[in-house]
Amino acid sequence: DIQMTQSPSTLSASVGDRVTITCRASQSISSWLAWYQQKPGKAPKLLIYKASSLESGVPSRFSGSGSGTEFTLTISSLQPDDFATYYCQQYNSYSFTFGPGTKVDIK
């Protein structure tokens, strides 16, 4: 099974900061990676698919990059609405595996 890790587990940042979250896969997943944002009490929301493709309606301050085993989600200028938990998910293999999440909170 492909395992996913994320770092950091928690990130404290201020409005306007550039934020980067890293996701690593235990084996190559090409570009078959998605990123989600989840706010308390809400369902996850798709942000990025195929590692770098922005889902329709998602602000352009979100971007994704990487391939193989290492991926990043970048928020270019953190906004108040962006404080949330972010999950990566691989869809390379015949399974669905999520990372453990990165919580972005207010510094």
Partner 1 sequence: QVQLQESGPGLVKPSQTLSLTCTVSGGSISSGGYYWSWIRQHPGKGLEWIGYIYYSGSTYYNPSLKSRVTISVDTSKNQFSLKLSSVTAADTAVYYCARVYPNPYYYGSGYFDYWGQGTLVTVSS
The binding site for partner 1 (CB under 8 A) comprises: 32, 34, 36, 42-46, 49, 55, 87, 89, 91-101
Question: Distances in Å between the alpha carbon of 75 and those of 60, 63, 79, 80, 97?
Answer: 9, 7, 9, 12, 23
Question: Whose Cβ is closer to partner 1: residue 13's or residue 46's?
Answer: 46
Look up tokens 């078959």; give the residue.
32
Question: Whose Cβ is closer to partner 1: residue 17's or residue 100's?
Answer: 100
Measured from the CB of residue 49, what is the shortest distance to partner 1 in angstroms? Answer: 5
Question: Whose Cβ is closer to partner 1: residue 20's or residue 100's?
Answer: 100
* 3-state helix, strand and coil shares in percent for the chain, rounded to the nearest 5: 5, 50, 50
Measured from the CB of residue 43, what is the shortest distance to partner 1 in angstroms? Answer: 4
Measured from the CB of residue 48, what is the shortest distance to partner 1 in angstroms? Answer: 9
Question: Whose Cβ is closer to partner 1: residue 28's or residue 77's?
Answer: 28
Give which of 69, 66, 63 is closest to 19, Cα–Cα.
Answer: 63
Alpha-carbon gap, residue 69 to 91, rounded angstroms: 13
